[in-house]
Amino acid sequence: MITSKIRVLVVDDSALMRHIITDILRQDPEMDVIGTAKDGREAIKKAQELNPDVITLDIEMPVMDGMSCLDNLMKQGAYGVVVVSGVSQQRADATIRALEHGAFDFISKPSNVFDLSSEAKKEEILSKVKLAYRTLKKAESLKGIKIQKGVTSQHEAGQATELKYIVGLGISTGGPRALSTILPEFPGNLPAAIVIVQHMPPGFTKSLAVRLNETSRLHVKEAEDNEEIKAGTAYVAPGDNHIIFQQEGMVVRIKLLKTPPVGGFRPSADVMLTSLSDVHTYSTMGVIMTGMGSDGSRGLMELKKKRNSIIIAQDESTSIVFGMPRSAIELGIVDKTVPLQEIPACIMNFMGVQR
């Protein structure tokens, strides 16, 4: 229960964007827009003076861009930062980096700025600002978790081994930062493929995969329709596409579908994990991590029922939002609940893989 209003600072170089976002926030009785800023330098100054709870932050601005501003804000104080970004490749790349550097979540700008006032976008803005506020202390406590900046042996060419496992991983809010923590811990010759459903709109999942690939020994890529699953590779579901699996003898292929969203999500972890439960060629494992809601629980239930697969959940202390892991834990299907940084070792221990 919020007993006082959420104090918000709106940062954008466009006066029209500042006006629209401010107007949306002020329509909610829980919000108090305490100021606006037109560039990163002004944002830092106003944040210090006004001490907001949450800051909506444009990525591309003059004088000081959003990334430089974010790094300074993270050093300056405890703010919940929600990035507001366009979907160009450059902006998508910057948004992924911002999430790694401590931003809570992001909102994609529609191509027509006036579509920002649609009911769906209004709800997204309000819900993400409120969630950023409610999880501010959790996000602050996770700042110390190590984020890999690079690896000494990229992709370990020629060492990838025979495919023995397929790991289905569902994740949402807090996902990019969590994935950038765990994926670099796997060796390039992992005898498994990891298939990731991260709730994210089109345009951003490719940037996420590219960024994760830069810091991992696994080959990380955005999944493509009809490609064969291979060991030592992590596949990120493309935004706005479901992933299912198709078996052809010993070959398992990824199929991308535009069927309706499930539980409001496309891609859906439930769709991917349910399909994985029908793959009998290889051993399977399910992993559920930080995120709001219950996506993934139904699919994990199928994995447990049909394959008796090992199910691993991220623990509450390291989850930005504990909704998705909690839902699976409450179903009684989780074999192991561990902190974020212990997930890779836990997965490999169940596989019998030495780090």
Catalytic residue among 53, 242, 295, 309: 295
Confidence band for 114, pLDDT divided at 50, 70 and 90: confident
**CA 258, 286, 187, 140 torsion-angle sign:** positive
pLDDT higher than 90, residue 203: no
Query: Which one is predicted more confidently, 320 or 311?
Result: 311
Catalytic residue among 85, 172, 277, 297: 172
Give the Å distances, CA to CA, from 247 to 85, 253, 290: 39, 6, 30
Query: Which one is predicted more confidently, 253 or 140?
Result: 253
pLDDT higher than 90, residue 251: yes
- The per-residue pLDDT for 256 is 98
- The per-residue pLDDT for 146 is 55
Mean pLDDT of 251-278: 97
pLDDT higher than 90, residue 19: yes
The Cβ of residue 341 has, within 10 Å, a number of other Cβ atoms equal to: 14
Q: pTM for the complete prediction?
A: 0.88
Mean pLDDT of 132-147: 67
Confidence band for 109, pLDDT divided at 50, 70 and 90: confident
The domains found in the chain, sorted by start residue, are: 6-141 (3.40.50.2300), 165-351 (3.40.50.180)
Mean pLDDT of 303-314: 97
- The tokens describing 2, both together, are 């919020």
pLDDT in tens, 49-97: 999 999 999 988 888 888 899 999 999 988 999 999 876 677 888 899 9
Nearest 5°: the CA angle 59, 107, 233 is 90
Percent of the chain with pLDDT over 90: 76
pLDDT in tens, 141-163: 565 565 554 444 455 544 557 99
Mean of the per-residue pLDDT values of the chain: 91
Mean pLDDT of 123-142: 81
pLDDT in tens, 180-196: 999 999 999 999 999 99
Identify whether 172 is a catalytic site residue.
yes
Classify each residue of 81-114 as buried b or exposed e, where b means 16 or more C-beta atoms within 10 Å of its C-beta: bbbbbbbeeebbbbbbbbbbebbbbbbbbeeeee
**CA 149, 152, 158, 159 torsion-angle sign:** negative
Query: Which one is predicted more confidently, 258 or 117?
Result: 258
The Cβ of residue 261 has, within 10 Å, a number of other Cβ atoms equal to: 13
Percent of the chain with pLDDT over 70: 91
- The per-residue pLDDT for 150 is 47
Lowest mean pLDDT among 130-134, 214-218, 324-328: 130-134
pLDDT higher than 70, residue 16: yes
Query: Can you list the alpha helix ranges (DSSP code H) found in 101-187?
Result: 119-134, 136-141, 175-182
List strand residue ranges (DSSP E) for the chain, in order: 6-11, 31-37, 54-58, 80-85, 105-108, 165-171, 192-198, 219-222, 233-236, 242-248, 251-257, 283-288, 310-314, 336-338
Query: Which one is predicted more confidently, 116 or 325?
Result: 325
Identify whether 199 is a catalytic site residue.
yes
Catalytic residue among 12, 39, 85, 199: 199
